């Protein structure tokens, strides 16, 4: 006998990327920043006194929200801080979607969306992306026709890294009648020369929530901190009704604030990642491994028909390099590779050359 709700019994859980114990593995599978947290975070950590843990933390992380508000030129009321972006995704479903309503997802994208929808017990409709990994021009009309209550759009797109412009996102938000969640988990890695900025949209429209995380751009995946930016009418019900009273802890709030206030260090890591993304894209192309133009910290590599992505993934793993393989429609001949440090990327290319030259995976 099972006490699980029927929808929980029927669903499969999220399959996380492998998290190996050994530090020797070159980990290019879960899109972490390859650079460590900056000196300001190290100093803040060593400055935390254990007595700070006796009391409950600030319930809405006000000091951190004030720093974030300054950074994005919005009001602290436009920001909710969450225990990772994953908590924000769960909160938007709990707050805005009834179990008999339907959410929309541009497919393929972050596989957690489907898991959260299944756990919430709402309906879900997938809308296929175009061959260039972008949404079709009539995406909003398709969503409205299907009476979609909330739509998740990841931009830059995961797993391709392709960026949709702020103007296109704004048009989608204007035309769509439901809540649009723009998942910007990877936006920090967009080339500044693109001038990409979706924050102004939340000042004009009341149906948009932007997700940002400390996990990627700020090298703090282990801390579990993220935030949402949106109109006060969207933020308030999550802030004061549906989130846990103390959803983020004192240490996490303190370190996240230190990271946000050291933009110089964060920007340094983003520049390194962009430079290496460029280098890696070119080197992979020399090996006949092509990928769509990525504005993220990963590349979606197409494995030519002479080889198998599944076997290439295994061959890399056996040589101590982890990348991500998704055995899913449209992705089964591809590998998603996180951009690593200079040394990690050079090793990857060297190992790939060995595997491909030997033809050992054909």
**Which parts of this chain interact with ligand PLP (CB under 6 A)?**
31, 84-86, 110, 154, 158, 183, 185, 213, 215, 221, 226
Cβ 154 to ligand PLP shortest distance, Å: 4
In the complex with ligand PLP, which residue's Cβ is closer, 32 or 361?
A: 32
In the complex with ligand PLP, which residue's Cβ is closer, 252 or 355?
A: 252
In the complex with ligand PLP, which residue's Cβ is closer, 26 or 116?
A: 116
Nearest to 81 by CA among 289, 269, 226: 226
Nearest to 181 by CA among 269, 112, 271: 112
Cβ 36 to ligand PLP shortest distance, Å: 17
Cβ 307 to ligand PLP shortest distance, Å: 26
In the complex with ligand PLP, which residue's Cβ is closer, 79 or 154?
A: 154
Tell me the DSSP string of 272-333: HHHHHHHHHHHHHHHTT-B-PPP-SSEEEEEPPTTS-HHHHHHHHHHTTEE-B---STTTTT
- CA torsion, points 152, 157, 158, 161, in degrees to nearest 10? -170
The secondary element (H helix, E strand) that includes residue 153 is strand 148-154
In the complex with ligand PLP, which residue's Cβ is closer, 226 or 229?
A: 226
Cβ 287 to ligand PLP shortest distance, Å: 26
Angle between helices 263-286 and 342-358 (to 10 degrees): 20
Cβ 113 to ligand PLP shortest distance, Å: 9
* Inter-residue contact 313 to 325 (CB < 8 Å): yes
In the complex with ligand PLP, which residue's Cβ is closer, 113 or 139?
A: 113
Cβ 100 to ligand PLP shortest distance, Å: 26
């Amino acid at each position: 006998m099972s006490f699980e709700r029927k929808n929980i019994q029927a669903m499969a859980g999220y399959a996380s990327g492998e998290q190996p114990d050994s530090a020797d593995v070159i980990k290019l599978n879960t899109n972490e920043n390859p650079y460590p947290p900056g000196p300001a975070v190290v100093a803040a950590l060593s400055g935390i006194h254990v007595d700070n843990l006796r009391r409950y933390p600030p319930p809405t992380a006000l000091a951190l929200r004030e720093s974030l508000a300054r950074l994005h030129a919005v009001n602290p009321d436009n920001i909710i801080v969450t225990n990772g972006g994953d908590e924000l995704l769960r909160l938007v479903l709990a707050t805005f979607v009834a179990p008999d309503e339907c959410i929309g997802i541009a497919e393929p994208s972050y596989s957690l969306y489907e898991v959260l929808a299944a756990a919430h017990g709402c309906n879900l409709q997938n809308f296929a992306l175009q061959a260039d990994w972008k949404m079709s021009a009539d995406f909003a009309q398709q969503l409205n026709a299907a009476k979609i209550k909330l739509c998740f759009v990841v931009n830059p797109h995961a797993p391709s890294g392709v960026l949709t412009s702020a103007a296109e996102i704004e048009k989608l938000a204007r035309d769509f009648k439901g809540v649009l969640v723009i998942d910007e988990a990877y936006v920090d890695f967009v080339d500044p020369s693109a001038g990409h900025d979706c924050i102004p949209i939340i000042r004009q429209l009341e149906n948009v929530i932007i997700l940002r995380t400390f996990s990627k751009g700020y090298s703090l995946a282990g801390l579990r901190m993220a935030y949402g930016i949106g109109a006060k009418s969207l933020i308030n019900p999550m802030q004061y009704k549906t989130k846990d009273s103390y959803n983020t802890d004192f240490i996490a709030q303190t370190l996240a604030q230190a990271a946000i206030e050291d933009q110089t260090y964060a920007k340094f890591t983003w520049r390194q990642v962009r430079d290496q993304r460029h280098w890696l894209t070119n080197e992979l192309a020399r090996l006949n491994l092509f990928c769509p133009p990525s504005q993220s910290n990963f590349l979606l590599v197409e494995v030519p028909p002479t080889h198998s992505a599944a076997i290439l993934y295994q061959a890399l793993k056996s040589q101590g390099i982890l990348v991500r393989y998704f055995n899913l429609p449209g992705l089964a001949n591809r590998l998603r590779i996180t951009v690593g440090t200079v040394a990690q990327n050079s090793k990857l290319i060297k190992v790939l050359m060995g595997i491909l030259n030997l033809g050992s995976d054909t």
